[in-house]
Structure 1
């Protein structure tokens, strides 16, 4: 018996891109915009200068660059693993938990690349910083509704350079 091919819009036998690929394209678009505009990103979403690019180490020794919302406070950049309110942590959380240091790109003219020490905030500091993230963008508060009670890890990236 021959398998039937599924028909997609416009009569093409092409599968739509998986959501992961769309997310990666979205992230790459943000990374490209960040680097082209001295760290300011207003398209495709309005982030202004609140993003940093974090070079997250993977188990296999490679790195993946992640654009992350940040709050710069006390000579450190704080990033939250909200994963847009998903019930599971984003994969990069585990890379940061294993890392002592990472490279980060921070806004400025020109963009600076720094080596940063990594530390995960513990309570009550994590809860206080989470309140700051919710004040930064109301979208963060919305994430609490879909995260099934997951506590969002927050990391402090302290510049060593």
Structure 2
């Protein structure tokens, strides 16, 4: 962690293509080493998704170390000092539902584990997550369940993070802030 900055956990919210990932990358740009936790699986059969992943990879400095996993809590507990960016929690929650089951499997233990790991993290941390509830209610049961669980996750993380920023059109709107980062 750079000596001029305090350890701060920041939840970065925003809609799809809002610039939330780019904002989080910029917020950690002064760190000499950043661990980038990529939660989205690379689907070889989806060229559009592969292009998105490639664009994210190309933006990251070479000094950043990428960890591709859906076990974010374990990564945070493994080294709670290295500046870390997690991108993104919507993909993490999707993988958790895929593992637990969309029709009744509980994601609560996974959510609680992740929140606990964030609460004990001592380095700079940027958690990127889609904001929910700004559009129509999903037409499917699984869509509504995802929205409900992501909203709950975001609320729990907002409580344990020192900062929460909503990125709209690439611009930060501070929801909760400290003086350590601006």
TM (normalized to structure 2)? 0.28
> Larger RCO: Structure 1 or Structure 2 (Cα < 8 Å, ≥ 6 residues apart)?
2
